[in-house]
């Protein structure tokens, strides 16, 4: 069933690309509707998987066949309390992003095909239980995103796309080398994640383990992105079309943090513990730095992009705390890990939606410069309301998803790294400041004459954004359904008694 969830969009994408003659006759709305329906199939399947989820702590619903047994490579997919929420969030975000109206520039078919393809690949990445498969999905996602930004972006899109591609590919190669290093240490040699986690091949491996760790770390840190390797993010976001930005922020960034947990923390726990403090420091820097830089932005999308740096910093802080070598604080570590995972989901939904919103704003106003707007509440109530809700969610207001994540991250981290947690807390004041400024600048105050006829959100936009917002509120108010699933992973992971 998981395989179906992964491959239905991929197959559909290939079918779309191969059979354009039939498809070409359909108009863009029909195509979008069809693509949305296809995109929703994995979501439905994942919901079913969720209902079947038992939460025993291990991998469930595993599907596996040999692929390249000579090298110990298999097609293995499955899920646990970590991957299930992320995969489901991915599917949801893709449905929304595909349904979201966007200017196709006369090339609706390749756009939708790429989006569907990327959906399958992204879900596959979160469900992959084989390092090789993981890497395949990892790299392919880059290519698909490259084309999405390059072909449907605006501004200096090709350049940004190239920068994105080269930068993240540069991250993926250390990752590949590290995977190989890890693989070479296994006995018998295998890429099977579960087996590697069981073997712990690099336990006590000293420098070798450190090198492998460094490879993974660089790869994931670029993707996450952590300061100072975040510079690809703002241009890629600014020039990408809205839905691609949403996917980039909502899904692709999560691949990095997911990799940290799934691979680094699970397979090299000793080394992670050894470096947990530096990672935590880096995360704290990401948090404060990301928020400060975001505060200075005048461009809406750049601002949101930098808040991603900030939010991913929270995730990393939680992960560093969760993997730190301390005893007696397992409960706090579990909370930190749960919080980090919730933050991945929450950030995906919130920032994804915010990027969609900014796409809509661009479509209406033609610019991302915040000072060009003002008083939009007068004309666009839905837009303002949704943006405000999302902004508050992003700054961690209780009752919304971000809070559930952040309070756990802070609470969990404080037990491990009190000083860093305290520094990181400054981030929430800064994000509050920047989002309130954003709301004030763009939506409140007097309406400039040129926006007299500023249109409010359309029905599709309200519906799609509303769906995301609903989940944001749902997680914020009754998160037990989510936290329970994640905790089934996080508790055993940190060895909570």
- Residue closer to other proteins by CB (options 273, 433) is 433
**Cα separation of 341 and 338, whole Å?**
5
Residue 19 makes contact with other proteins by CB under 8 A:
no
Closest by CA to 350, choosing from 234, 254, 451, is 254
Candidate list 61, 64, 158, 200; residue touching other proteins; CB under 8 A: 158
- The nearest distance, CB 478 to other proteins, in angstroms, is 8
Candidate list 1, 15, 285, 407; residue touching other proteins; CB under 8 A: 407
The window from 41-49, 87-95, 273-281, 393-401 that contacts other proteins (CB under 8 A) reads 393-401
Candidate list 377, 380, 457, 472; residue touching other proteins; CB under 8 A: 377
Residue 278 makes contact with other proteins by CB under 8 A:
no
Residue 101 makes contact with other proteins by CB under 8 A:
no
Sign of the Cα pseudo-torsion (96, 99, 101, 105, in order): positive
Candidate list 35, 293, 322, 401; residue touching other proteins; CB under 8 A: 293
Closest by CA to 269, choosing from 194, 181, 200, is 200
Positions in 194-213 near other proteins (CB under 8 A): 211
Residue 16 makes contact with other proteins by CB under 8 A:
no
**Cα separation of 337 and 483, whole Å?**
11
Size of the site for other proteins (CB under 8 A): 96
Candidate list 56, 155, 398, 495; residue touching other proteins; CB under 8 A: 398
Candidate list 71, 203, 463, 470; residue touching other proteins; CB under 8 A: 71
Helix (H) / strand (E) element for 64: namely strand 60-68
Residue 437 makes contact with other proteins by CB under 8 A:
yes
**Cα separation of 77 and 43, whole Å?**
16
Candidate list 72, 174, 352, 359; residue touching other proteins; CB under 8 A: 174
- Residue closer to other proteins by CB (options 211, 460) is 211
**Cα separation of 9 and 115, whole Å?**
9
CA distance to 172, 276, 374, per residue, from 217 (Å): 10, 12, 42
Q: Is 102 exposed, middle or buried (0-12, 13-18, 19+ CB in 10 A)?
A: buried
Residue 480 makes contact with other proteins by CB under 8 A:
yes
Cβ neighbors of 404 (< 8 A, separation 6 or more) are 339, 342, 346, 475, 476, 479, 483
Candidate list 87, 412, 420, 457; residue touching other proteins; CB under 8 A: 412
The window from 173-181, 272-280, 353-361, 448-456 that contacts other proteins (CB under 8 A) reads 173-181
Structure tokens at 66: 């040999």
Sign of the Cα pseudo-torsion (390, 396, 398, 403, in order): positive
Torsion angle defined by CA atoms of residues 305, 307, 312 and 313, in that order, rounded to the nearest 10 degrees: 130
- Residue closer to other proteins by CB (options 93, 235) is 235
Residue 219 makes contact with other proteins by CB under 8 A:
no
Candidate list 12, 128, 136, 362; residue touching other proteins; CB under 8 A: 136
Positions in 296-315 near other proteins (CB under 8 A): 296-297
Whether the bond into 188 is cis, omega within 30 of 0: yes
């Amino acid at each position: 069933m998981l395989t179906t969830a992964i491959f239905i969009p991929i197959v559909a994408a290939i079918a779309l690309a191969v059979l354009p003659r039939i498809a070409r006759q359909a108009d863009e709305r029909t195509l979008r509707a069809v693509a949305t329906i296809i995109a929703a199939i994995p979501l439905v399947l994942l919901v079913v998987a969720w209902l079947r989820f038992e939460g025993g702590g291990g991998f469930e619903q595993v599907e596996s066949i040999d692929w390249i047994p000579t090298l110990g490579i298999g097609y293995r997919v499955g899920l646990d309390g970590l991957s299930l929420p992320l995969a489901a969030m991915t599917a949801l975000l893709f449905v929304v992003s595909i349904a979201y109206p966007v200017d196709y520039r006369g090339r609706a078919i390749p756009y939708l095909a790429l989006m569907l393809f990327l959906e399958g690949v992204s879900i596959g990445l979160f469900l992959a239980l084989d390092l090789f498969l993981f890497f395949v999905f990892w790299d392919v996602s880059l290519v698909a995103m490259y084309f999405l930004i390059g072909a449907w972006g605006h501004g200096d899109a090709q350049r940004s796309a190239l920068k994105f591609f080269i930068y993240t590919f540069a991250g993926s190669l250390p990752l590949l080398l590290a995977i190989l290093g890890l693989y070479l240490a296994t006995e018998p040699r295998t890429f099977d994640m579960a087996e590697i986690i069981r073997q712990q091949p690099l336990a006590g491996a000293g420098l070798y383990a450190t090198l492998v760790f460094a490879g993974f770390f660089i790869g994931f840190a670029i993707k996450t992105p952590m300061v100072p390797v975040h510079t690809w993010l703002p241009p890629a976001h600014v020039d990408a079309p809205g839905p691609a930005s949403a996917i980039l922020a909502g899904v692709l960034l999560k691949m990095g943090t997911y990799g940290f947990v799934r691979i680094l923390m699970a397979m090299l726990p000793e080394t992670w513990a050894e470096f947990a403090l530096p990672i935590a420091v880096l995360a704290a820097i990401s948090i404060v730095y990301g928020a400060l830089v975001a505060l200075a932005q005048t461009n809406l999308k750049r601002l949101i992009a930098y808040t991603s740096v900030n939010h991913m910093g929270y995730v990393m802080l939680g992960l560093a705390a969760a993997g730190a070598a301390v005893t007696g604080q397992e409960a706090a570590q579990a909370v930190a890990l749960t919080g980090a995972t919730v933050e991945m989901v929450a950030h995906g939904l919130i920032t994804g939606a915010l990027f969609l919103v900014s796409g809509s704003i661009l479509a209406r106003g033609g610019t991302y410069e915040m000072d060009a707007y003002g008083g939009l509440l007068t004309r666009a109530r839905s837009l303002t309301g949704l943006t405000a809700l999302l902004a508050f969610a992003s700054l961690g207001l209780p009752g919304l998803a971000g809070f559930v994540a952040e309070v756990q991250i802070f609470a969990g981290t404080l037990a491990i790294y009190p000083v860093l947690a305290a520094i990181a807390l400054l981030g929430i004041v800064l994000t509050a400041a920047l989002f309130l400024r954003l709301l004030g600048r763009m939506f409140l105050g007097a309406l400039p004459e040129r926006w007299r006829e500023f249109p409010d959100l359309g029905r599709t936009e309200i519906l799609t954004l509303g769906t995301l917002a609903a989940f944001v509120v749902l997680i914020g108010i009754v998160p037990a359904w989510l936290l329970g699933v994640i905790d089934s992973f996080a508790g055993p992971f940190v060895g909570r008694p």
